[in-house]
Structure 1
Amino acid sequence: MAYDFQRLQVLIVDDNRFMGDLLRMVLRSFGLDRVSVSECPLEGLSYLESHAFDLAFFDYEMPAMSGLDLISRVRGHHNDLVRFLPVVMCSAHVEEERVLRARDVGATEFLVKPFTTQAIYERLASLIERPRPFVREACYFGPDRRRKLADVASADRRVRSARGIDGPQMRRAALRDAAGGPDALANGW
């Protein structure tokens, strides 16, 4: 399925200007014109606090603050629009330990560098078509780390907002609306 992504607003935080610009160019080829790029994680956090982004791409390794630390700050944020933000962690290092650490701090998806346009599109489609509910545990808040659907005997731990809708449900509705709905086709894609 192809989507019209032109209404989505995306933040990229990557200390490597070339990689940030390259990712922005790929996103623009999908019709995403509202893409902000920051080379500084603290500046990126400031952008998140002052703009309503629909999703973000964070680099794993940055000098001032790692992508892991940035995700931790996002997941602990007081504003639900920031806390429930889908975050795609990007890294050229794909050792299992790194991927699991990104998952365990609250990354929604993982994108391997060097990336392909198809891999980026698949991450975007996954965020829209298969958003994961958020869970709160003693030492974790973020997207459910389980990928397979299974019956769980324990109580439902998905976080509900004051309106009774979980964060991913709000995000899924916003992303689908912004992407033109489930049946929308992107021009030329």
Structure 2
Amino acid sequence: MANKLANISILVLDDHRNMRLLWRGILLAFGIRTVHEADNAEDAFKQVGDKDIDAIIVDHHLDGLTGAEFAGMLRRAPDSPSQHVPIIACTADTRRSVLKLLVDSGVDEILAKPVSADQAWKKLAAVVNNRRQFVKTAFYYGPDRRRKDGGRWTGKERRKEQPVQTDPEDM
């Protein structure tokens, strides 16, 4: 499978050089030959426009814009060079509020630090082999946030919860 990844081009956006080097080593071990690096969102945005980037790995805590702000800008900006490029967010900050920001920004996957090669492989395989369809609403543009088809909601808008009916005798 590594041979299939040889022609993939990855951009790593992280303001820490050691993390970019760690990512480079992991990606090269996967057989990916083209790894670009950026230490700030402005440079990354420019590289996405200038180069053929197949996926982006972005740290959440950056100098300047956050990873969520970068992803949101890439997904929704009128001058975005690539609204549909797969984005894997990587963060040590796994508070629910941060994860919600990342999901709402339009990232495809979230990877918690410390990074393991196994988890990195799974996230990369998910965005390359099993990409979710994109959804566009007034407030969101990005991969469908639902992981499963189906569910119990049968109404017009699935994201709304059905009121739970309780029988007073059950209380």
Q: TM-score, normalised by structure 2?
A: 0.84
- The whole-number CA distance in structure 1 between the counterparts of 2:80 and 2:70 is 16
Q: Partner residue of 1:109?
A: 109
Q: Name the % identity.
A: 25
The alpha-carbon deviation at position 78 of structure 1 amounts to 4.1
The alpha-carbon deviation at position 130 of structure 1 amounts to 1.8
| Matched pairs, number | 154
Q: Partner residue of 1:149?
A: 149
* Corresponding position: 1:63 with 2:63: yes
Q: Partner residue of 1:131?
A: 131
Gaps (5+ residues) in structure 2?
A: 158-171
Query: 2:82 aligns to what SS in structure 1?
Result: helix
The alpha-carbon deviation at position 87 of structure 1 amounts to 0.2
Counterpart code for 1:107: V
Q: Partner residue of 1:26?
A: 26
Gaps (5+ residues) in structure 1?
A: 156-189
- The whole-number CA distance in structure 1 between the counterparts of 2:26 and 2:56 is 14
Residues 90, 110 of structure 1: 8 Å contact kept = yes
Residues 74, 80 of structure 2: 8 Å contact kept = no
Larger-gyration structure (1/2): 2
Counterpart code for 2:36: S
Counterpart code for 1:66: T
Query: 1:82 aligns to what SS in structure 2?
Result: coil
Q: Partner residue of 1:84?
A: 84
- The whole-number CA distance in structure 2 between the counterparts of 1:80 and 1:8 is 21
Q: TM-score, normalised by structure 1?
A: 0.76
- The whole-number CA distance in structure 2 between the counterparts of 1:80 and 1:52 is 14
Alignment of 1:165-176 (within 5 A): none
Q: Which has the higher contact order (CA 8 A, sep 6+)?
A: 1
Residues 52, 81 of structure 1: 8 Å contact kept = no
- The whole-number CA distance in structure 2 between the counterparts of 1:146 and 1:81 is 26
